[in-house]
């Protein structure tokens, strides 16, 4: 792990979380997310290595009306990455972070949902998170399938494509979960035209 990066990260988070912060482009954020992803693959617990992230995420979301869309999208993706491990998900849920971050109504009320950057971040964050049964349970209980289904016909081709890939990921993950425990069935609501039916996998 790069010691210099570890040392400056708290200050970087402080700057990014500051109300009104903006970046000329999101290249640096993508590189930072790639670094976090590589650390996660090496078995590093991001919350244990960087406790500042637990404060960074809700601070950015709570400042959302004044925050740059690229920073918000980064935060959505980062939340998903941390939540991809059961321990990370548990810690974030103890602080109600996932409920805060992945609530589409919150983004709609803030007038930010119309930005494709936010919708992409929301989808990608959820997709990254869905690696274990606890995350899938959260997804179902929060009734996030409905907004996801709306996004699969989004006016943005990038958002619609991401939503379609997310739906495929959910179905494959449900099948995997079911094959591991045939005695349990997960019911997922699926939209058909204007009504909803259920698919048990």
Biggest distance spanned by C-alpha atoms of the chain: 54
Q: CA triplet 168, 193, 153: central angle to 5 degrees?
A: 50
Kindly give the residue spans of alpha helices, DSSP state H, lying in 50-185.
52-62, 69-83, 86-94, 97-101, 104-109, 116-129, 133-141, 145-151, 157-180
- Residue with the larger pLDDT of the pair 143 and 4: 143
pTM of the model: 0.86
How large is the average pLDDT for residues 6-14? Answer: 89
Residue listed under structure tokens 């449900």:
174
Angle ∠(135,146,81) on CA atoms, nearest 5: 30
Tokens standing for residue 169? 């990921």
Per-residue pLDDT tens digits for 86-112: 999 999 999 999 999 999 999 999 999
User: How much is the pLDDT for 193?
Assistant: 42
pLDDT higher than threshold 70 for residue 130:
yes
What tokens were used for 9? 């990260």
Residue 191 has a pLDDT of: 47
Residue 131: band (very low, low, confident or very high) from pLDDT cuts 50, 70, 90: very high
| Residues comprising the chain, all counted | 201
Residue 80 and residue 74 in contact, taking contact as beta carbons nearer than 8 Å: no
Mean pLDDT lowest for which of 20-29, 76-85, 127-136? 20-29
Architecture (CATH level 2) of domain 3-200: Alpha Horseshoe (1.25)
Mean pLDDT of 151-170: 95
**What average pLDDT score do residues 170-180 get?**
83
Q: Are strands 187-192 and 195-200 parallel, antiparallel or unpaired?
A: antiparallel
**Which two tokens mark 7?**
């040392």
Q: Which residue in the block uniquely carries the two structure tokens 């941390």?
A: 82
Predicted local distance difference test score (pLDDT) of residue 146: 94
């Amino acid at each position: 792990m790069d010691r210099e990066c570890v040392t400056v990260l708290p200050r970087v988070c402080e700057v990014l979380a500051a109300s009104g912060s903006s970046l000329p482009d999101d290249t640096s954020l993508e590189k930072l997310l790639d670094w976090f992803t590589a650390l996660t693959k090496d078995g590093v617990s991001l919350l244990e290595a960087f406790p500042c992230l637990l404060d960074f995420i809700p601070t950015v979301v709570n400042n959302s009306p004044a925050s740059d869309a690229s920073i918000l999208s980064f935060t959505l993706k980062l939340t998903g990455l941390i939540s991809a491990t059961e321990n990370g998900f548990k810690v974030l849920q103890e602080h109600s972070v996932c409920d805060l971050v992945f609530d589409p109504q919150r983004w709609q009320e803030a007038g930010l949902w119309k930005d494709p950057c936010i919708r992409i971040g929301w989808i990608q964050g959820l997709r990254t998170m869905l690696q274990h049964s606890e995350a899938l349970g959260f997804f179902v209980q929060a009734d996030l399938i409905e907004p996801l289904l709306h996004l699969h016909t989004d006016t943005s081709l990038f958002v619609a494509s991401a939503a379609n890939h997310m739906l495929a990921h959910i179905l494959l993950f449900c099948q995997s979960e079911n094959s591991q425990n045939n005695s349990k069935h997960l019911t997922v609501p699926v939209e058909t035209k204007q009504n909803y039916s259920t698919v048990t996998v």
